Structure formats: structure tokens, C-alpha cells
Amino acid sequence: MRPPYSMIFFTTLAGAAQGLFLALFAADVAVATGALDLSAYPFMVGAAMVLVLSAAGLVAAVFHLGRPLRAWRSMAMWRTSWLSREVILLPIFMATVFAWGLAHALQWPTWGLGLLGAVLALGLYLCTGMIYAAVHAIRQWAHPVTPLNYLVLGLASGFVLAAALAAWAAPELLKVYVQAALLTTLLGAATRGWALWRNLSLVPKTTLQTAIGVRHPKIQQKSQGLMGGSFNTREFFHGRTPQAVRSIRWAAGLLGFVVPVALLLLAAVSAAPLVWLVLAFLLQYVGLLAERWSFFAEGQHTQNLYYQTVG
């Protein structure tokens, strides 16, 4: 499938925002139970960062709409559409995060708002992943590991960003956030690696031979029946060479997982961890952009048997 860049930016930005909030909520629970003594300042700054990332993702998502002025209609099918549920949950999540940050600033109780925000963040991961896992025509996406990957990779980037925030404003949280970032990044490498292996190992259920009822072992397509491009040629195939796809996968693996793990380990023993953690987040984000591109490109629709290549 053709990777939609608006969705690549939306899912990575919103995923990092949700992961950051869940990291902050865990610290908020520790403060509420008396296990940690921390001022409101890191929570206020963290809430602002969550809102900025979520808003940036929302702006990116607008470019995916054919007619942005009719965006409100995307909420109408909430009973059956995971997309509608996502569109409804995201602004509620942002409003909850704003109220949670404001409650910290005013020294009001935050437990209820934090719990609601955490539930909404997890619900958003589920909705985003199920938008693609529910597309049964794309076997590479239609698997429970799809929403799991959205959750784990969002947590990984969120915890790396939380570790950077802790290095700047809450040193008490630095060690645990670095450990959580390492764990989720390694877990993300495992789940995404398994999904990639599965997708590359899938045997097509339909071939050119079965499509036209000819059993000859070598069938070469000579024409698509069209002199120019069409919706099918633009939307159902990414248009990149196999070499380019492999390069993007390598970039996703190195920048998304290997390099961040090395930088997190370096930050754990460094006297100035903030620089390494900010660098880890930025490089990991670039790697997750490549990973998300690869995820979309892995989707194979049956119609590509006809439209993808010409002999």
C-alpha cells in the first residue's frame, strides 16, 4: 500500500504523546501513594508537551482528509468504525490532559483525571491499531500484533521523552524512566521484528495463475490496460524499488531500536544525560517514521497482482 505521510506523522506524534502521559501518570500515582515526593512542575511541563505533540499529530491528520471542513462527519459511525472512535477519543484525551495539568498547577486532586487520561490513552492505542488490524483484505495488517505494536512503540518513544524530561526537571525519576524506555524499546524491537518476519513469510492466497485460470509457471504481464496512472496505481502501491524498501527497513531497525538503546545505556552512566536522551528521542522518532512507512508499505492488496508491475 502507499504510505500516507499524514498518518505516519499523526500516529508517531500521537503515540509519543500518549506514551509520555502514561509515564507521567505512573509517577503521579507514586506521588499520590506517598512513594515519591515531587513538585507539580514536571507534571505541568509534561502535560504541555503531551498537548503539543497531540496537537501536532492532529494537524498532520487533517491533511489526510479530502475535505477537512467535513471532518466532523468522521465521528458519525462510532458504533462500527474504529476511525470514528479514534476521532472522538483524541480531543477528549487532550481536554483531560489539559485539566490534569491545570489541576497540578492549582494543587487540586489529580487522581481521577489522571486515571481517565490513562484509560483514554490506552483506548487511543487500541483504536489506532484496530483501524488497520480490522482490514481483513490486507493480511499483513489483519493480526492482533498490529495494535500491540502501536502500543509498545508509542510507549517506547513516550518513555524516552519522559526520561529526557526527568533529566531536566525531575532527577528522581531518571533511573526508572531510562529502565522503562530500555524495556519498551527492546520489546518494540521484538514485536515489530516478529511482525516483519510474519509479513515477509506470508504465502499469497492468489496468484496470476489462479486469477486467470492458467497454470503455466511463467506468466508475464505486458500491459495494465491504462496509458497513465489511476487511483489503483497511486493508492495501492508505494512505488519504491525493493532496494529502497530494504534500506528503509534497515533505517527503522537501526534508528528506531539499536541506536536508542545504545544512547539510553550511555545516558544511564553519563554525568550529563539530558543531551543523550534528547538525541535518543529525536533519532528514535526518525526511526519510527521509517518503521511506520515500512508498516504501510508491507500491506499487499490482491489488486496489485494486476496494477503493481508490468513486464
Position 245: which residue type? Answer: V
Per-residue pLDDT of 136-175, as tens digits, reads 989 999 999 999 999 999 999 999 999 999 999 999 999 9
CATH top-level class for 5-307? mainly alpha
Averaged pLDDT, 39-60 = 96
CA distance 52 to 101: 13
Q: What is the pLDDT of residues 208-234, one digit of tens each?
A: 788 778 888 888 777 665 556 677 777
Instruction: Output the 3-class SS for 21-34.
Output: HHHHHHHHHHHHCC
Neighbours of 162 (CB within 10 A): 33
Answer whether residue 99 shows pLDDT above 90.
yes
Give the per-residue pLDDT at 300: 87
pLDDT at residue 310 in the model: 55
pTM score: 0.93
Q: Are 46 and 24 in contact (CB under 8 A)?
A: yes
Domain boundaries, the chain: 5-307
